[in-house]
């Protein structure tokens, strides 16, 4: 099955929260779901995001039972920064990320891949997160915030995905400034986009559509 890449307009938008919701929703439809966190930064000992994702995955897929959080990542770095900046020794080899993807894919029906930061975050000097999405031929779910200013972030990310000819859907994680969202942001989305949706209300419909198209 075509993998699903979960990205966002930036950091702290809700990628892990979304991926956890997807694990549960996809597993409820009988799919053996897998998880992959290609690069995680800000890691002192055990990668926190990878740990959370793996624990959720192991509850629904026995194929991941024998793995550790480091097994579902290709690289971890201590500095909380873009992978290129955190990788002070220049260790990152894209082929190793792709190899890890191949190995994890064999353990599941559908692999969920959680990115780091946004689409244009540099993994190496000349290779961005969006390039990894392209090379993995992944369907993409873009998660956008509900805070003031999110329209600009959302439109820039959508434009980048379209420019790179990447198949994507997008949703709003409605938790920041949620009381004001209906007044300061939603009018524009309603006027321009016919199919935008909120994560909290639309995850089941998205999963149904995604499974139907597999």
Enzyme catalytic residues: 37
CA–CA separation, 197 and 7 (whole Å): 16
CB atoms within 10 A of CB 16: 20
State how far the Cα of 10 lies from the Cα of 107, in Å rounded to an integer.
29
Provide the residue count of the chain: 214
Measured CA to CA, the distance from residue 154 to residue 16 in angstroms comes to 18
Nearest to 172 by CA among 154, 148, 152, 193: 154
């Amino acid at each position: 099955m075509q993998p699903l890449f979960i990205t966002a307009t930036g950091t702290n938008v809700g990628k892990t929260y979304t991926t956890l919701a997807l694990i549960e929703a996809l597993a409820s439809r009988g799919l053996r779901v897998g998880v992959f966190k290609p690069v995680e930064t800000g890691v002192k000992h055990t990668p926190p995001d990878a740990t959370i994702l793996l624990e959720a995955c192991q509850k629904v897929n026995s194929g991941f039972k024998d793995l550790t959080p480091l097994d579902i990542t290709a690289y971890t770095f201590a500095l909380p920064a873009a992978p290129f900046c955190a990788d002070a020794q220049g260790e990152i080899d894209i082929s190793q990320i792709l190899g890890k993807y191949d190995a994890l894919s064999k353990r599941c029906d559908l692999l969920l891949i959680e990115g780091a930061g946004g689409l244009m975050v540099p993994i190496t000097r000349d290779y961005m997160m969006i390039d990894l999405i392209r090379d993995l031929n992944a369907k993409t779910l873009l998660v956008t915030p509900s805070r003031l200013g999110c329209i600009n972030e959302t439109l820039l990310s959508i434009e980048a995905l379209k420019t790179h000819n990447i198949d994507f859907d997008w949703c709003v994680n409605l938790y920041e400034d949620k009381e004001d969202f209906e007044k300061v942001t939603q009018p524009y989305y309603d006027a321009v986009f016919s199919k935008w949706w909120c994560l909290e209300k639309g995850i089941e419909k998205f999963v149904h559509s995604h499974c139907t198209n597999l």
